[in-house]
């Protein structure tokens, strides 16, 4: 089937008028009519009645399925372009990047192919995957999108950032309930609602609602404010971040963790999917821990 003629048919079916459709396609009306007749001839069936204008049952089917066909054709073109590129594009949340770098380095070596890392929160990753601007994502939140594949990889503990001189900074693990009266720096709900709700669930389990000193969207800004003594900060465990002067990161006594998953577009699948999947799952993730503890209880994001 000629995709150009299909596009013209879909435009005509949408406009339901030859004159308007021809104008939008920058064609004369007779030229558009000839293209539609040629499509009907190629398919061996009448697609529309001209006076008055209406689609035949076959035309209605082509209108519905033709849109899907064009989307798949565009996706295939993007897949071919991606296969010709040298780099695989991975989206990674900023606050998980230090912990996930070993995974990505392992992947780069295993594939023998460069990996481009783009800092993106999970919703941004999903949008970029759907638009063909990303090959894979490492998501810290559950993805509810039927077009996106999702495979659990590992769990990242939730920790608290404290000023170096805080009375609890010497503890190996900090009981969150001991911070009940402390001022908290909190992720704004509108920035990442599922992650915000996951953190609030940790507070609920500890039996209190945090006293919010300031809302902070970026990890780098939050740790600077912690160092300045503005408040304490609940975050995901970036254990491999270079130490920030005046700040210590402490595991919580209340066990909590978020799951990190490999996400990708299902149709068309990304390049080298089976290899990427196996290489990532072959690497056991072991975050730094002051001692053996029970497995952290996952926090369900987006309650």
pLDDT tens track for 62-114: 988 888 888 888 777 766 766 665 689 999 987 677 778 878 888 888 988 88
Neighbours of 170 (CB within 10 A): 10
Q: Write the CA distances from 153 to 34, 44, 164, 228, 258, integer angstroms.
A: 55, 51, 32, 35, 11
Chain length of the chain: 303
The pLDDT of residue 86: 67
Distance CA 207, CA 302 (A): 19
Q: Can you read off the two tokens belonging to residue 14?
A: 């949408």
Question: Which has more pLDDT, 40 or 236?
Answer: 40
Identify any residues that bridge with 275 across adjacent strands, giving them in sequence order. Answer: none
The pLDDT of residue 302: 45
Q: pTM value?
A: 0.57
Distance CA 53, CA 19 (A): 12
- Checking if the pLDDT of 46 tops 50, the result is yes
Asked whether 83 and 94 are in contact (CB, 8 A), the reply is no
pLDDT tens track for 119-165: 998 989 999 999 888 999 999 888 989 999 999 988 888 899 999 99
- Checking if the pLDDT of 292 tops 50, the result is no
The pLDDT of residue 238: 57
Name the pairing type of β-strands 136-139 and 88-92.
parallel
What band does 173 get if pLDDT is binned at 50, 70 and 90?
Answer: very high
Q: How much is the mean pLDDT over the chain? A: 85
Distance CA 223, CA 221 (A): 6
- Checking if the pLDDT of 35 tops 70, the result is yes
What band does 291 get if pLDDT is binned at 50, 70 and 90?
Answer: very low
Asked whether 185 and 225 are in contact (CB, 8 A), the reply is yes
Domains in the chain and their CATH numbers?
3-83 (1.10.10.10), 87-153+259-282 (3.40.190.10), 156-257 (3.40.190.10)
pLDDT tens track for 180-216: 999 999 999 888 787 888 899 999 999 999 999 999 9
């Amino acid at each position: 089937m000629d995709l150009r003629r299909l596009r013209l048919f879909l435009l005509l079916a949408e406009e339901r008028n030859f004159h308007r459709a021809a104008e939008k396609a920058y064609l004369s009306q007779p030229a558009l009519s000839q293209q539609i007749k040629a499509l009907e001839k190629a398919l061996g069936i009448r697609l529309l009645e001209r006076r008055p204008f209406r689609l035949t049952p076959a035309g209605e089917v082509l209108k519905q399925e033709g849109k899907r066909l064009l989307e798949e054709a565009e996706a295939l073109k993007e897949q071919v372009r991606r296969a010709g590129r040298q780099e695989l594009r991975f989206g990674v949340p900023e606050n998980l990047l230090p912990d996930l770098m070993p995974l990505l380095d392992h992947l780069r070596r295993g594939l023998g192919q460069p990996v481009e890392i783009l800092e993106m929160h999970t919703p941004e990753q999903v949008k970029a995957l759907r638009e063909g601007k990303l090959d894979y994502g490492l998501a810290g939140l559950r993805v509810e999108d039927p077009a996106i594949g999702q495979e659990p990889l590992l769990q990242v503990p939730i920790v608290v950032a404290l000023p170096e001189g805080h009375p609890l900074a010497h503890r190996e693990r900090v009981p969150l309930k001991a911070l009940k009266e402390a001022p908290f720096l909190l992720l704004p709900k509108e920035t990442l609602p599922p992650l915000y709700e996951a953190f609030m669930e940790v507070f609920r389990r500890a039996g209190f609602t945090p006293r919010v000193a300031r809302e902070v969207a970026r990890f780098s800004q939050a740790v600077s404010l912690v160092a300045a003594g503005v408040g304490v900060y609940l975050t995901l465990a970036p254990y491999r971040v270079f130490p920030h002067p005046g700040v210590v990161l402490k595991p919580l006594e209340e066990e909590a963790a978020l799951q990190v998953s490999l996400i990708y577009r299902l149709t068309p699948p990304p390049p080298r999917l089976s290899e990427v999947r196996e290489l990532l799952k072959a690497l056991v993730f072991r975050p730094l821990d002051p001692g053996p503890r029970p497995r952290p209880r996952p926090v369900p994001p987006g309650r």
